[in-house]
Amino acid sequence: MVQIHPSLPFSIHRGSYLSLSVSFFMRDKFIAILLACSFLFSGCIGGDEESSVIEISVDMEGAPGIVHFVKDANNGTSIQGMQVFFDFTGTDSSGGAITEYWLEPGDGSSRISSNAADSKILSREYVSYGGFMSKAGANDSGGNSIHEEISISLGGAFHINQTSPTGVDEPADLHIDSMNINSIQNPIKLEISSSLTNVENVAPLPPPDDVEITWQLFDPSGELIATHTQVIGEDQSYTWTHSEENPMPGGWNLIIGDAVDDENVNQETTALMLF
């Protein structure tokens, strides 16, 4: 006679033998294995990622800033770049000696680096304007590496200066170049200040006369956005200002016309793209 403990689950099938079910035992055994794995090996199921052994510290100087573009009457451009410094003093590693500091400027230019024993400071002269996402990093002798992303905002200031004792017969236009194609931001404002002076005639001829100046601002699509006409008397000056919120990305043009012949003018005009 077969004795069956009352706590054991079983099923009786037609035939000549008795089959015991062990499904519950298998389930409990599987759960026990998972629990043991979880307690004994912290990385067995899931687990946190290992943090970097390098503690990076980067201080930036020079941004936000302005890149200056000085224009001539033929749209020739002289650029006064913005020097930005990245100081890695304070960067340390528990996995080895720091061997290299490096920088990806974010403006499309090549990565730069320095031997950590030589210098803890990297510098980059930005010669275009925009909002850039740079990466500053460090490597150590243990093969470890770390970097952090640093946002850099550089506006663009465009200048044209035509000033002399006799002035010019026709003021030049100001071309506002587009931001760097690697910019991750669009400009938030365009500010224009344009001062025109009717130069006093020294010779008796031609006789003194007023000048009539017209400013026309065109966006990158060629649409006229703003215009103003002003009559300026002999030896007098006038400044036209305009502000444009969220200007369209691309190149803008400020056309400045003088409707009066034989009268010379001086001009000082600046357009500022801000981020």
For the stretch 182-211, pLDDT in tens is 999 999 999 999 999 999 876 666 677 899
Neighbours of 226 (CB within 10 A): 15
Q: Is the dihedral of CA 115, 120, 124, 130 positive or negative?
A: positive
Q: Is the dihedral of CA 125, 127, 132, 134 positive or negative?
A: negative
Closest CA to 190 of 217, 171, 228: 217
Q: What's the distance, Cα to Cα, between the start and end of the chain in Å?
A: 92
Residue-wise pLDDT tens for the chain (275 aa)?
434 333 333 333 333 333 323 333 333 433 333 233 233 333 332 333 345 799 999 999 999 999 999 999 999 999 999 999 999 999 999 999 999 999 999 999 999 999 999 999 999 999 999 999 999 999 999 999 999 999 999 999 999 999 999 999 999 999 999 999 999 999 999 999 999 999 987 666 667 789 999 999 999 999 999 999 999 999 999 999 999 999 999 999 999 999 888 889 999 999 999 99
Give the whole-angstrom CA distance, residue 30 versus residue 32. 5
Closest CA to 146 of 57, 22, 235, 70: 57
Torsion (CA) 5, 9, 14, 15 in degrees, nearest 10: -50
Residues of the chain with CATH 2.60.40.10: 54-67+77-154
Residues of the chain with CATH 2.60.120.20: 155-274
3-state SS, residue 39: helix
Summarised one tens digit per residue, pLDDT across range 22-53 is 333 333 433 333 233 233 333 332 333 345 79
Q: What is the CATH number of domain 155-274?
A: 2.60.120.20
CATH 2.60.40.10 fits 54-67+77-154, yes or no: yes
